[in-house]
Structure 1
Amino acid sequence: MEAIQAKDYQVVFGENGYSNLNAILKEKNYSILFVLVDSNTHEHCLAPFLQNIVTQTTIEIIEIDPGEEFKNLETCEGVWNVLSELNADRNSALINLGGGVVTDLGGFVACCFKRGIDFINIPTTLLAMVDASVGGKTGVDLGPLKNQIGIISNPELVLVDTHFLGTLSVEELRSGYAEMLKHGLISSEAYWNTVKQAKYTDFESLAELIRQSIAIKNEVVLEDPFEKNRRKSLNYGHTLGHAIESYFMESDQKERLLHGEAIAIGMILANYLSSELCSLPKSECDVISEAILAFYPSVEFTEKDIESIITLLKYDKKNSHGKVLFVLLNRIGEVVLNQEASNELIYNAFEYYKKLKKN
């Protein structure tokens, strides 16, 4: 599969990708290679990954706990301490082998350690392949607030090996698929129609869709690397989606939602807001929302839940001058940025979601 040229690095695929990786390791001649894993990727992904690596450089493994709740500065401090104890220097490199938590946190760790060492992303989840590992965003959460601390910095390479998808549960695959559905909505009706009809458990056909999804994101990032304008479109469904994810992560009474499950709800809510505030036809809003909902389980929201979620919106990174700003649609492939919505409209959006899931 042909590589994708991003800014200052490539996204490479499969067996050819390992050749690219080994060429970089030889060229750079790193002093020590550190591979960051969580306990899941340590067990399921590390051995096959190392079998494809050709290098004389010492390799050290650093393991962190799995899960969004460990994507924080405390975990970073633990990794920085291990790097120091194992004599990492500025000519070391960090290979992040894992999902979005590992690639986001690992990239941030590398950017800060000794004011910056090289890092390479090897995404092992569908979500990380199409979203987290591409585009240079690194960072961690601040309590339950998503991605509040971080920096934009590009890796030396991103290697996508779809064999790792076989280690995932159906729920994890479905979570990553939400970002692919989003890429369709913000880019083209053709891709949306393809991805909404595909099966995320069919890895053979999924491989090309993954490449297309990465290409869509890469095109946006190349035009607007620091999210001043068009890159905000990648946050479709994320304003409310992130608030929902944070609320469910923080609440003792709620079962955790995976990222994509929350973003799927966020996109349906954004569809409704688009039909009210922009020119997305109501009929098209319904068709799009029903297509998204077909992939994901229904979630109940009480009025108290919605009130708490709206409160969390003030922490969204797209906000400006105290205003909560939404990414909305005029139609598939035509995004409208920096839209405000009243709390009443947001409550109505949740009511729309509630009625939709009963149909």
Structure 2
Amino acid sequence: MRTPKPDLKKLIRASWESAAPEQKLISIGNDLDHLIAEDSAGRRRVVPIGVGADIHFGDSVEAATDGDNMPNPNPSLAERIHQAWNATSPPEQQWIVEAAPDEVIVMDNTDRSLVRVPVTIDDDQISFGPPQKVRPAYVPADDGQVAASRLVFASADESRPAVEPAPPVDPPPSGPPPVHTPAPPADPAPQTDPTPDPADPGPTGNPDPAPDGGDNPTDPPAAEPEPNTEPKGEDPVSTLSNDTRSRLGLPDDADDDAVLAAIDDLKAKADKVNAATAATAATDEMKAEISRLSGELAGIKAAAAADTKKALFEHAVRTGRIKPATRESWEKRYDKAPDVITDILASLAPNTEFPTTAPGYTGQEASAEELEDAEADKLFAYNGKAN
């Protein structure tokens, strides 16, 4: 930091008193790049100073009342990007950790995750691209390179300072508007010689000393207080958004423990639903398998019943218990009462309807076709005797 020249500081004071006599000069910055002035209402403003062929003053900005967060009259590109991002009204749980000319690193206090947001500058207009999740990387430090263009913030309170609410506006008075009386013109400001005289000891009298150390050239300028960068303790509920609490059915002041308990309850309910769904799926699969096996068993039983029926009537015809011509009638009666017909056929003696072997012959039984031919021969023989 260079030592200000006393004659230039006096010249800045004289130029300001001449340019804005209605505003009281409070202090001049150590680097002679800005001053603090106070208007008749007690509001303090920061005014940039330009020193060239002459001394001129830029547009003023309102100064913070506590003096800790006085805005920079000549912000760097990183500071402008930081201010532009805060002006987009991002979610309250998000804040800039680092700001650079080409990117900002943003932390989300909900899960402490980091995202990189690219920065684009077009005709002095700052815009932000889509965020991309990143994680911290640790690389060897290079003492020869200093990232002077990057801003680093230690906490959300430092990155996103609270905005003082605007004072309430009084309602307009009722009745007719007051009559405005123009004020008398002010006396012209005294003309001062901008060229300082080395032999001139300065204005006589005892003017109020300036808070920045006064005009005494032997006194070093007072250093402005450094901003407090100590991280402040965060509210235990500040890491969660009101939207998250609202979706969980919790009040706005619910802390992390209440949110975690609500999430655990939802997970337990989801596990019960998944178990019930799995049980239903298993039951449906078991029912399908039972139906399939029942169908196969029914088919096996039907085939076995058909084989039993066929064997029963083939045996009844072969042993002469029924005639081949009456087999169909017996089968229909069997379909209605299989146990009853089985018992009846079992009670009949062989050769009841017609003999299947010659008397006194014990040999192989005749086949069904042979029995049908024998029955037909008997019928034709009987009809021939009748003729």
Normalising by structure 1, report the TM-score: 0.22
Determine which structure has greater relative contact order: mean sequence separation of CA pairs < 8 Å that are 6+ residues apart, divided by chain length. Answer: 1
- In terms of fraction of residues, the more helix-rich structure is 1
The structure that has the greater radius of gyration is 2
